[in-house]
Amino acid sequence: MSSEDNGFLSRWSRRKALVRSGQSLPPEPPPPEPEAPVPVSAQAQPGSAHAEVSEPVVNHPAEQPAPTLDDVADLTPQSDFRPFVARHVPADVRNAAVKKLFADPHFNVMDGLDIYIDDYTKSEPIPADMLAKMVGAQFLKLVDEPTATEAPAPLAQPEPVAPPTEQPQEAHDDHPDLQLQPDHAPGSQSPGAGAG
């Protein structure tokens, strides 16, 4: 717990309590100074006791110039693309390098997990026997008219029918001009539905 006593939250809590009580705040502790790198001449020799404890020397490479579009033209799929996606590289150079990387056919393989990748505009043809049964196909003359495959069964001898003696009179409702006319005959008076 002693490490937490000197932590940020404990300091914050103490400062908050001091502000509430009206006391003055102690000065902030100075930030820790960064450690200076050990010069190469001061490092221990491989045979000394300090050789095992010393930190390895990190050689920072000299700042290389930013790659250009000419460098992108020389890239192959086996090239190292890391220098082309660094922060200091211009956006057009970075985009050209990434485009060249993904132009490799290795990255153009479908995994089959995409949802709507099939071409649904190409349908399978409808079988001819199913097409012949469709009325629309017959109407559009896509198939020949169906022919009677079975001969109708012979009818039994019809019985002679006597001709009618009277001509039936044509009813007035059967006349085409009268069918659309309203019937003005008096009928039962019933309240009809209201207008609207």
Residue with tokens 């190292």: 80
Residue 97 within a domain: yes
pTM of the model: 0.30
Q: Which two tokens stand for residue 146?
A: 């169906």
Q: Please count the structural domains in the chain.
A: 1
Q: What is the pLDDT of residues 36-66, one digit of tens each?
A: 776 665 555 555 544 455 555 555 555 778 8
Distance CA 150, CA 169 (A): 41
Task: Determine the structural domain holding residue 81 and report its residue range.
Answer: 69-108
Residue 85 within a domain: yes
Q: What is the pLDDT of residues 13-34, one digit of tens each?
A: 888 999 999 888 877 777 777 7
Distance CA 83, CA 65 (A): 10
Contact 64, 83 (CB under 8 A): yes
